[in-house]
């Protein structure tokens, strides 16, 4: 069973719509990361989240993006008003404990298609 | 210029060949990951290194902190090793990814 589960696996949305992507760990992970990968390009860092606060964010992570841990276990990435260029695979990852301590567990990814 | 560079970008091998993939980085790091991404898109962590060398089965990863360079070796390559191999470095609290090396191993 995967350490990190992401939902939905694929979402198609209209430009301008809000999208929420979810990440659920099995064990008690403290660190979370969101990354995205536009088709054919490299994986890019979006945001790191530690103990219910944003630790670091990239230039990509503008005001359209937000992260939350609404119930202490689920971990969400919200895109408020999607643009065509938001179409990508979004990955959630967690080191399973303190950052930089070992294996990094990735979710299977959520493919977002914006029309 | 990318902060993490990988070479080669594409690699084709015959089954049984010894494979080397290289990674160079230009930023300060606390650790380096080698990751494997399969055609379906899923990413799996292979190694995390902060110094020296690690081995897992047919895979060996090395890192030279002074030279800011890491290598991933695959001994006795097999068609199931076909995937994209990604080097990623921890810089402050984020991972910076290389562009990946696409490996195809033919029987």
**A9 close to B (CB below 8 A):** no
Chain B residues close to A37, C-beta within 8 Å: 41
Q: What does the pLDDT look like over B74-95, one tens digit per residue?
A: 999 999 999 999 999 988 778 8
Min Cα distance B101 → chain A (Å) is 10
Q: List the one residue out of A29, A45, A63, A93 whose CA is nearest residue B92.
A: A45
The answer to whether residue B23 scores a pLDDT higher than 80 is yes
Comparing alpha-carbon positions, the chain B residue that sits nearest to A102 is B48
Query: A53: pLDDT confidence band, cut at 50, 70 and 90?
Result: confident
How far apart (Å, rounded) are the C-alpha atoms in residues B50 and A102? 10
DSSP strand E in B1-106: where? Answer: 4-7, 10-14, 19-25, 31-37, 43-49, 52-56, 59-64, 69-74, 83-91, 94-97, 101-106
Chain B residues close to A109, C-beta within 8 Å: 41-43
Radius of gyration of chain B (CA): 13
Query: A69: pLDDT confidence band, cut at 50, 70 and 90?
Result: confident
What's chain B's average pLDDT? 93
Q: Mean pLDDT across the stretch A101-114? A: 87
How far apart (Å, rounded) are the C-alpha atoms in residues A38 and A114? 12
What is the residue-wise DSSP string for A51-96?
A: TTEEEEE-TT--TTEEEE-TTSS-EEEEESS--GGG-EEEEEEE-S
**A56 close to B (CB below 8 A):** yes
How far apart (Å, rounded) are the C-alpha atoms in residues A34 and A17? 20
- Can you tell me which residue has the tokens 């990509």? A60
pLDDT score recorded for residue A27:
67
How far apart (Å, rounded) are the C-alpha atoms in residues B23 and B5? 6
Q: List the one residue out of B100, B53, B96 whose CA is nearest residue B73.
A: B53
Query: A18: pLDDT confidence band, cut at 50, 70 and 90?
Result: very high
């Amino acid at each position: 069973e995967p350490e990190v589960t992401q939902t939905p696996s694929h979402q198609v949305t209209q430009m301008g719509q809000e999208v929420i992507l979810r990440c659920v760990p099995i064990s008690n992970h403290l660190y979370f990361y969101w990354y995205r990968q536009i088709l054919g390009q490299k994986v890019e860092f979006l945001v790191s989240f530690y103990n219910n606060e944003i630790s670091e964010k990239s230039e990509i992570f503008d005001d359209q993006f937000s992260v939350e841990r609404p119930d202490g276990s689920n971990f969400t990435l919200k895109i408020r008003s999607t643009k065509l260029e938001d179409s990508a695979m979004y990955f959630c990852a967690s080191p399973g404990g303190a950052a930089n301590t070992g294996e990094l567990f990735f979710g299977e990814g959520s493919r977002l298609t914006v029309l | 210029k990318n902060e993490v560079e990988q070479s080669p970008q594409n690699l084709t091998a015959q089954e049984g060949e010894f494979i080397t993939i290289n990674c160079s980085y230009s930023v300060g790091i606390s650790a380096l990951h080698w990751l494997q991404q399969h055609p379906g898109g899923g990413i799996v962590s292979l190694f995390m290194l902060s110094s020296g060398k690690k081995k897992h089965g047919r895979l060996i990863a090395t890192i030279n902190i002074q030279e800011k360079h890491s290598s991933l070796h695959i001994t006795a390559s097999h068609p199931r090793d076909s995937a994209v191999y990604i080097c990623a470095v921890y810089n402050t609290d984020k991972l910076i990814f290389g562009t990946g090396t696409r490996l195809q191993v033919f029987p």
